[in-house]
Structure 1
Amino acid sequence: MIVGVGIDVAEIDRFAAALERTPALAERLFVPAELLLPGGERRGVASLAARFAAKEALAKALGAPGGLLWRDAEVVAADNGRPSLRVRGTVAARADELGVRHWHVSLSHDAGVASAVVIAEG
């Protein structure tokens, strides 16, 4: 059963400008592992913008309640690159309230826009 669906888009240049303007922003939005590629290199801004969009889409799938913490949702990738979500704290508590048992995530970035879709399944 689908509990919720969320979608979000982020303009990549605007997101890059926000990161440049506020250097600590990346550390407030992402856990350390999200900032790096599997090989240890720093993740590009388009990829970070897509991960930010996923966190916004996740909040929408949960009904956009107040009090969710950015770093309580982590976008992780399987060995084959398929994205998924790891939730804890405030996000896990809300997901439990709604009966969410599985997440479906799709990320994309093209033509200056990053997007994400999150489906919460119970």
Structure 2
Amino acid sequence: MIRGIGIDLCDIERMKKAVAREGFVKRLFSEGEIAYAKDKADAASHYAAAFAAKEALAKAGGWGLGKMGLDACEVVRTERGPVFNFSADFQRRLEEEGIIRVFLSLSHESGMAAAMVVLEG
């Protein structure tokens, strides 16, 4: 059964300006997300997609990003597509709420990054 759906958009140019500010990247992204983005020609588009993913997850669960916390998850790219890697605390929270699977889709095009999350329980 679907327990929640969330979608978010992030302006890549706005993210490009934000990542230029000292400390911004380390506050919002995991070491893995930083390494992945830095390895790409347009790092800002990958930061924007990861941020949109976290926002979409927070919306899908009805938690809000502030309540969920930026350290609750990181976006990991796999051969089968992007997935979340959850902190132990957040994984417990998902289990307590009966969420058994989390689906993630990312895209970036024409200056925007998009993410969609579906929670299954």
TM-score computed with the length of structure 2 as normaliser: 0.87
Query: What amino acid is the match of 1:97?
Result: E
- Identity level (%): 37
Deviates more, 1:64-73 or 1:100-109: 64-73
Deviates more, 1:69-78 or 1:50-59: 69-78
State the Cα deviation string for residues 97-121 of structure 1 (Å, max 9, x = none): 3211111110000000000001111
**Contact 1:62-1:95 at 8 Å conserved across structures:** no
Partner of 2:29: 30
Partner of 1:108: 107
Partner of 2:73: 73
Cα offset, 1:94, TM superposition: 3.4
Structure 2: tracts of 5 or more residues without a match: none
Which of the pair is proportionally richer in helix? 2
Cα offset, 1:71, TM superposition: 1.7
Partner of 2:87: 88
State the Cα deviation string for residues 77-104 of structure 1 (Å, max 9, x = none): 11x2510111125533432232111111
Which secondary structure state, in structure 2, belongs to the residue aligned with residue 53 of structure 1?
A: helix
**Contact 1:108-1:114 at 8 Å conserved across structures:** yes
Moved runs in structure 1, 4+ residues, more than 6 A? Answer: none
In the comparison of the two structures, how many residue pairs are matched? 119
RMSD: 2.0
Q: Counterparts of 1:32 and 1:7 in 2: how far apart (Å)?
A: 24
